[in-house]
Every structure is written in C-alpha cells, then in structure tokens.
Amino acid sequence: MKLSANLGFLWSELSLPQAIHAAKTAGFDAVECHWPYDTPAETVAQALADTGLKMLGLNTRRGDVAAGENGLSALPGRSADARTAVDEALAYGVAIGARAVHVMAGRASGSAAEEAYIDTLRYAAEQAAGLGMVILIEPLNRHDAPGYFLRTTDQAVAIMDAVGSPALRLMFDCYHVGRTEGDVIHRLRTLLPRIGHVQIASVPDRGAPDHGELNYLAICSELSGMGYAAPIGAEYKPLGPTEATLGWVTSLREL
C-alpha cells in the first residue's frame, strides 16, 4: 500500500520544502499539505522535483482565522471571497503539479449556507475540470470543528449529487468519520466510487494510526482488496518527533 505524508501535521516544525525532503527520507510515496501559501510555489515545486514526490492536494484558505473562520464556501454573502480562494488554490496547485484542492466549507448552517456551498462547488468543479484536477470536500467532526457546515458523509453525498460534477469527490478521513459516524469499513465499501482521497489517524486522539478504536490493518486491507491503489494520507498529530511515530508504516506498506 502506498502512503502519503500530510505535511500540515507531520514535520510541521520544518519549512515545507524541508518537510518534503523529510518525507522522502522516511519512505513516503507522496505528500499533501494544508495551506502552503506562505511558501513560493516554485520553491515547493523544486523540492518535489528533487525528491520525485507528488503533492496530492492542498486546502483553500480558511479566511479570517483570528475571527474564527474555518473556510468560506458555505458562508452566505461571501461568494466572491470563496471564489477567490478557489482560484488561488487551483493556481497554486497547477504550479506545483497537485492533483486536488480541498474546498473548505466553513462554519455555517441552514439553507442559505447550503445554497452558497453548492454554488461555490459548482464553480470550483468547473474550473478544476478544465485544469485536469479534482475538488474534494471533507466532513469534519464536531469535536475538532464545532459549527462546521459539512459534518457527515451522507450530507456530502447529497451535496455532490446537487453539484452534479465528476470533478467533485469525497475526502474520506477515517478519523473524522470514525468520530462522527463509525462503521468505517462499511462506509468505505459504500462510498468508494465517490472517494477521491482517504486519510487516517487514530480515534479518538488523532495520533499515529497504530492504536485507538480503529484497526487500520483491517481498514487498509479492505481498501486494498477493493482495488484502491492511491496513496493513503497520514494526517495525524505526532506525539514527539515525527520520525519516532512511524513504526506503523511498515505493516501498512506490506498490505
């Protein structure tokens, strides 16, 4: 099984180019990130070229973080800001050869928020399709992201159906699904045709995927058996130096 290092959490003490090199040294097959915008895209592209790693994806900006914003796309009245964030993320993605952009919904609720979200996602999917990229949406659990608009996989599927674009895919984070919905393997089986990326971390502490409520040997074995061949994203919060938390890698890679 191929593995991707999420550099939003792993080697977060390093610059993004340094973290890319660290992931290569640790044996990861790919990398992904959260918000790389403070680092020039050409610098990231060079690190990727030097290591031979692919950057799988990045997030749109959250907005005014100090004011509590955690995405813009589902905020009524913020369509222009949301589209600007999409354009920025897609342009950065093109510059570094990324495949996907996660469009963050933000803290909102109600029908107006849903309409705003669908409108932004239609725009994003149209732009991404023209670039040969995909748009991802990710349900976030209420413990880590209270008030976030997109909360469950059922809600995500309904949104995807409303948008109606093959360029819109589900980011299935086993950690978030495990905390909110449970029954992770069944949901993976059901949703596999909709999934654009899978991420892992332990439940409930979001540590390395080698303990907790979810058995990732079983989950990843199931994914492999279903023919899922894309890199699985390790998006967990290491307790201590990242290198000291990678004991799980060998067992999953052998699947």
The residue from 32, 114, 138, 222 that is catalytic is 138
Q: What ranges make up the beta strands (E) of the chain?
A: 3-6, 30-32, 54-55, 57-59, 100-102, 134-137, 168-173, 195-200, 232-234
How far CA 167 is from CA of 36, 57, 161, 198, in Å, comes to 22, 14, 12, 16
Residue 23, helix vs strand vs coil: helix
In the annotation, is 114 catalytic?
no
Q: In the block, which residue shows the tokens 């959260």?
A: 34
Cα dihedral sign for 133, 252, 175, 179?
Answer: positive
How far CA 9 is from CA of 105, 141, 146, 234, 242, in Å, comes to 20, 17, 20, 9, 9
* HSE (side-chain half, CA atoms, 13 Å) at 253: 11
The residue from 32, 114, 222, 235 that is catalytic is 235
Q: What is the DSSP letter of 245?
A: G
In the annotation, is 13 catalytic?
no
* Cβ 104 vs Cβ 62: under 8 Å: yes
Residue 136, helix vs strand vs coil: strand
Active site residues: 138, 235
